[in-house]
Amino acid sequence: MSNKVIKTVGAIARFRGTGHLLEAATRMQESGYKKYDCHSPFPIHGLDKAMGLKRSSLGWLVGLAAIIGTTGALALQWWTASIDYPLVISGKPLFSYQAFVPVTFAIGVLLSAFTALIGMLAFNGLPRFNHPVFNSDQFKGVSDDLFFISVEVNDPQFDETRTIQFLESIGGTNCELLQENEE
Amino acid sequence: MKFDSQTYLLTDKGRFGNITLVMGIIGLMLSIAAWLIDSEQFYHSYLTSFVFWITIALGGLFFVMLHHLVNANWSVVIRRFGESLMMTIPFMAILFIPIIFGIRELFDWSDAELVASDHLLQGKAGYLNIPFFIIRTLIYFIIWTGLALTLNRLSMKQNISANFEQIKKMRIISALGMILFGFTLTFASFDWLMSLDAHWYSTIFGVYIFSGSFLAMLSLTTFIIIRLQNYGVLTEAITKEHYHDLGKLIFAFIIFWGYMAFSQYFLIWYGNIPEETIWFLHRWEGSWKIVSLIIVFGHFVIPFFVLFPQGAKRNKIVMTIMTLWILLMHWVDIYWLVMPSLHPHEIHPTWINPAAFFGIGGIFLYIFWRFFTRHPLVPINDPNLKKSIDFIS
């Protein structure tokens, strides 16, 4: 017990509602904080804009997956049906693209959907077991009726006293440092 | 055109009403001349244009019923467009009368001699005969008119005093109306379009017509909104967010139309039964092949890729061009359904097509404009109006 070191991993402040959270997020962005996040019980329209978040590049990845999926599926059907094992079915040409459309479409959709799900999880750094914000007791209220902004310690501007002061200056209440025990 | 953004009323309605009325009258007069010159061509052109405009009116009816049924918030500011479009239905019933006179020239099944020598048509004679055809058309128009008038009356009551009883009533009517709409539109498309080639049948045909119908309605609505906003009308109520959602719906229904068109073709191609494939074979002959390819690329491939990016749906110029393009393609689609029964081998462009198109279209748009400008341009007392204006896509 005695050789435990308490380490600061971030700071957290509570805000009163969506309006305050949006305002505070804008101030956070203006003041140059990079590693911060807003937490609310429900999605808030315009929060991404207030935080200055860029559009996710996931769309491009999904688009690429769709192209690979459709061309791959079409190529597979073409190769199996007309090169590797040619089989005349109901007198139609070997490469009957009409018949290949449903499978091409389905595999294109399947691969894009998987890419979208797995890519989304990967971009969000999920799955993970725990996050320092859960060390705060008040943070439980985020799934009910409370709004928070958290700042991570690896933000270049992070300073234990100044960050707390700043969070208070933009209207945050119940400001506290997030701490973690380290062996 | 002058607009009062407090009361949402048009204080100066501009010249649009007069222009469309004149256009309609000239078009219909030219159509009468066309009837004297070449009655068969006239009836086919008239049917093409009639179906083009009635499908837009029915798309409006569908939009309003869908809006009430799902208690939509975003579309409250757009509801009046759907309501005014559906209010043209009773007038479209009057414009259907020439088609009744043209049954003998339009539909092979009305020819008693031909039916007597055709075993297949004899089997269908119980359904495809002139009295029953007229009765069915009458039923369709009674149902559509009933739905349109009731929904419009309740919606207009909202302007005076709004209460939740009206909303509840509109929702119940819409729920029942949806079922009736599904049946009537399916059978109307069977009667008016599919029976042009009485041997041919496709069970998906009604859904195919519906997908084009709602797509054309959304395109016309978006186009009118963009034009009105250029005159400073509804600029605060309808925002980019609404364009984005209309664009998304248009995009979705382009895909839905493509899905239906392909499904119809695919099953017939796979089954390879002569009496089914002949229909597509006719449309793959001579210059009809070009029209078929224009529809595949113009009605699906090009709009799909153009409207794919988010930015395109929020861009007024792109949306102006694409909505007009889709309306043109909707007309080409119906032309492609109707005309091969008159000119089976080659397309036959004639001035009678635009005459009928602008004749019916002028009257249609005039009636739309009259209903649209008579009241506030949005449902001012609807409890969801504020949510709709503040809506973010």
Tell me what the mean pLDDT of segment B243-250 comes to: 92
Is B266's CB within 8 Å of A98's CB?
yes
B362 phi, psi to nearest 5 deg:
-60, -45
Using an 8 Å CB-CB cutoff, list chain B residues near A101.
Answer: 262, 266
Is B272's CB within 8 Å of A90's CB?
yes
- Rounded-to-integer distance, Cα A106 and Cα A18, Å: 41
Residue A151: other Cβ atoms inside 10 A: 24
Q: pLDDT by residue (tens digit) across B79-97?
A: 999 999 999 999 999 999 9
Using an 8 Å CB-CB cutoff, list chain A residues near B266.
Answer: 98, 101-102
Size of interface A-B (CB pairs under 8 A): 14
- Asked whether A10 and A150 are in contact (CB, 8 A), the reply is yes
Burial class (CB in 10 A: 0-12, 13-18, 19+), A135: middle
Q: Say what the pLDDT of residue B386 is.
A: 81
- Rounded-to-integer distance, Cα A115 and Cα B259, Å: 23
Å between B266 CA and nearest CA of chain A = 7
Out of A102, A123, A144, pick the residue that ends a domain: A123
- Rounded-to-integer distance, Cα B300 and Cα B306, Å: 10
Å between B263 CA and nearest CA of chain A = 10
Give the residue on A whose Cα is nearest the Cα of B391.
A45
- Rounded-to-integer distance, Cα B296 and Cα A23, Å: 49
Is B266's CB within 8 Å of A46's CB?
no
Q: Say what the pLDDT of residue B375 is.
A: 87
pLDDT band at B6 (very low <50, low <70, confident <90, very high): confident
Q: pLDDT by residue (tens digit) across B188-230?
A: 999 999 999 988 999 999 999 999 999 999 999 999 999 999 8
- Asked whether B152 and B57 are in contact (CB, 8 A), the reply is no
Å between A52 CA and nearest CA of chain B = 17
Q: pLDDT by residue (tens digit) across B252-303?
A: 999 999 999 999 999 999 988 988 999 999 999 889 999 999 999 999 999 9
Residue A140: other Cβ atoms inside 10 A: 10
Using an 8 Å CB-CB cutoff, list chain A residues near B392.
Answer: 45-46
Is B269's CB within 8 Å of A98's CB?
yes
Lowest mean pLDDT among A30-34, A80-84, B220-224: A30-34
Å between B268 CA and nearest CA of chain A = 11
A148 phi, psi to nearest 5 deg:
-135, 155
Question: Which residue reads 């959270």 in tokens?
Answer: A21
- Rounded-to-integer distance, Cα B36 and Cα B43, Å: 11
Q: Do residue A22 and residue A62 come from a single domain? A: no
Which residue, B191, B188, B228, B255, is CA-closest to B54?
B188
- Residue A54 scores a pLDDT above 90: no
B381 vs B196, residue with greater confidence: B196
User: Is residue A43 within 8 angstroms of chain B, CB to CB?
Assistant: no
User: Is residue A44 within 8 angstroms of chain B, CB to CB?
Assistant: no
Q: Do residue A116 and residue A145 come from a single domain? A: no
- Please report the DSSP string for A100-162 in residue order: HHHHHHHHHHHHHHHHHHHHHHHHTT-S-S--GGGGSSGGGGGGTT-EEEEEETTSTT--HHH
CA A8 to mean position of chain CA atoms: 24
User: Is residue B297 within 8 angstroms of chain A, CB to CB?
Assistant: no
Tell me what the mean pLDDT of segment A71-79 comes to: 94
Structural domains in chain A (count)? 2
Return the residue in A55, A88, A98 with the most chain B beta carbons within 10 A, the one to mutate for interface testing.
A98
Q: Which of B262, B272, B392 sits opposite A101 (nearest CB)?
A: B262
Q: Looking at chain A from residue 137 to 176, which residues have their Cβ under 8 Å from any Cβ of chain B?
A: none
Is B270's CB within 8 Å of A46's CB?
no
Q: Say what the pLDDT of residue B237 is.
A: 84
Domain map of chain B by residue range? Answer: 15-389
- Residue A1 scores a pLDDT above 60: no
- Average pLDDT across chain B, whole number: 91
Return the residue in B256, B300, B392, B393 with the most chain A beta carbons within 10 A, the one to mutate for interface testing.
B392
Q: Do residue A49 and residue A84 come from a single domain? A: no
Q: Say what the pLDDT of residue A12 is.
A: 84
User: Is residue B311 within 8 angstroms of chain A, CB to CB?
Assistant: no
User: Is residue B274 within 8 angstroms of chain A, CB to CB?
Assistant: no
Report the largest interatomic distance among the alpha carbons of chain A, rounded to a whole angstrom. 83
User: Is residue A88 within 8 angstroms of chain B, CB to CB?
Assistant: no
Print the domain residue range for A81: 58-123
B391 vs B365, residue with greater confidence: B365
pLDDT band at B393 (very low <50, low <70, confident <90, very high): low
- Residue A3 scores a pLDDT above 70: no
pLDDT band at A183 (very low <50, low <70, confident <90, very high): low
- Rounded-to-integer distance, Cα B16 and Cα B361, Å: 13
Q: Do residue A22 and residue A63 come from a single domain? A: no
User: Is residue B271 within 8 angstroms of chain A, CB to CB?
Assistant: no
pLDDT band at A2 (very low <50, low <70, confident <90, very high): low
Q: Looking at chain A from residue 46 to 75, which residues have their Cβ under 8 Å from any Cβ of chain B?
A: 46
Tell me what the mean pLDDT of segment B49-65 comes to: 96
Using an 8 Å CB-CB cutoff, list chain B residues near A98.
Answer: 265-266, 269-270
Pure H helices in B70-204: 79-86, 89-95, 97-101, 103-106, 112-116, 119-124, 130-160, 164-192
Question: Which residue reads 């190529």 in tokens?
Answer: A75
- Asked whether B45 and B26 are in contact (CB, 8 A), the reply is no
Assigned token pair, A140: 């439980």
Lowest mean pLDDT among A151-155, B153-157, B337-341: A151-155
